[in-house]
Structure 1
Amino acid sequence: MPVIDTHVILRNGDKVLLSQRGGPYGYGRWHAPSGKLDRGETVRTGAARELREETGVDVDPEHLRLVHVVHHKQSADIERIGLFFEATAWQGEPENREPAKCLALAWFSVHDLPEDIIEYPAAGLYGYLRNERTLTEHGWRR
């Protein structure tokens, strides 16, 4: 079974909030606040929980709009389904609540994103920003 990941895109005008990884996967690279869905929780509840745990920002799950899906082939044995949500309203100012896992939080213009975004979350972020389609299959051989 694929791992189900939730990713939350916080926008402030033309800026999006990104997190710089501090753990072994993608160390030093950027991605949107994200995490795995826990057993027994809905995807929007899980996305809101992960956002709060990582950034301190509160969002009502009803204010999370699904904007993109990525079916990611991580390896021969691991598949992931990433659900990318845009927060349409939230409360609080982002702060790094997980310094052991996150090196920094920063706002970036959608016109000047860092080049070192991890490929899997980049596929969802760019899919959302380009509004070309709602599904990306990433890492699969064709």
Structure 2
Amino acid sequence: MAEHLDSNYCQRCGQALEQREFEGKPRPTCPSCGFIVFLDPKVAVVVLVSDGDRLLFVQRGAEPQIGKWCFPGGYVDRGEQVEAAARREVREETGLEVEITGLIGVYSLPSNPVIVIAYSGEARSGELIPGTDAEDAGWFEEDELPELAFPHNVKIIEDWEACC
């Protein structure tokens, strides 16, 4: 049986998968039909919502990094448009409706199979209320940020200041 797989069996014929080298990398491969599995990264979105000199953050209510702060965001659902996912995540985590005002950047780490797409946005309506997966939500001055959950949060702020 192949190790470190999302699935141990071929989705085409049901045969147990094996690790075989393909294009210089070990890949889960079906020894029966030859189907090669490419383990795709997840796509996530975050929104840097600004209000003057204040930035919106949510305090994480779940691991990883429970209790630390990050931008509202989460995974894009299959079939969902990326900007729609960004607006949905802000609404779910903060109660606010936002207008996406720009693309800040796209981020990834070799150690984590997630692609993070960061947008800038502005709150248009709603009441700031933390969602069920957040301990808290709040506005912070740029020079008084809370303890951030992820290293790429700092890079996103730097890129936002440079571009938007």
Q: Which TM-score band (shorter chain)?
A: 0.7 to 0.9
Pairing 1:39-118 to 2, within 5 Å after superposition: 39-60=78-99, 63-73=100-110, 75=111, 78-88=112-122, 90-98=124-132, 101-118=133-150
Listed one character per residue, the Cα deviations across residues 85-139 of structure 1 (whole Å, up to 9, x for unaligned) are 11145212321121xx21111111112212444223333233323x17xxxxxxx
What is the distance in 2 between the residues matched to 1:45 and 1:64?
13
> Going by fraction, where is strand more abundant, 1 or 2?
2
What SS does the aligned partner of 1:66 have? Answer: strand
Q: Which has the larger radius of gyration?
A: 2
User: Which amino acid is 1:65 matched to?
Assistant: G
What is the distance in 2 between the residues matched to 1:124 and 1:72?
14
RCO greater where, 1 or 2, for CA within 8 Å and sep 6 or more? 1
User: Which amino acid is 1:34 matched to?
Assistant: G
Preserved contact between residue 70 and residue 123 of structure 1 (Cα < 8 Å): no
User: Which amino acid is 1:114 matched to?
Assistant: P
Query: What is the CA distance between 1:16 and its match in structure 2?
Result: 0.2
Preserved contact between residue 6 and residue 83 of structure 1 (Cα < 8 Å): yes
Q: Which runs of 4+ in 1 moved over 6 A?
A: none
Instruction: Name structure 1 gaps, 5 residues minimum.
Output: 133-142
Preserved contact between residue 31 and residue 122 of structure 1 (Cα < 8 Å): no
Give the aligned length.
Answer: 125
Distance 1:125 1:87, change over 3 A: same
Distance 1:43 1:32, change over 3 A: same
TM-score (norm 1): 0.77
Is residue 60 of structure 2 the alignment partner of residue 21 of structure 1? yes
Q: What is the percentage of aligned positions where both structures have the same residue? A: 31
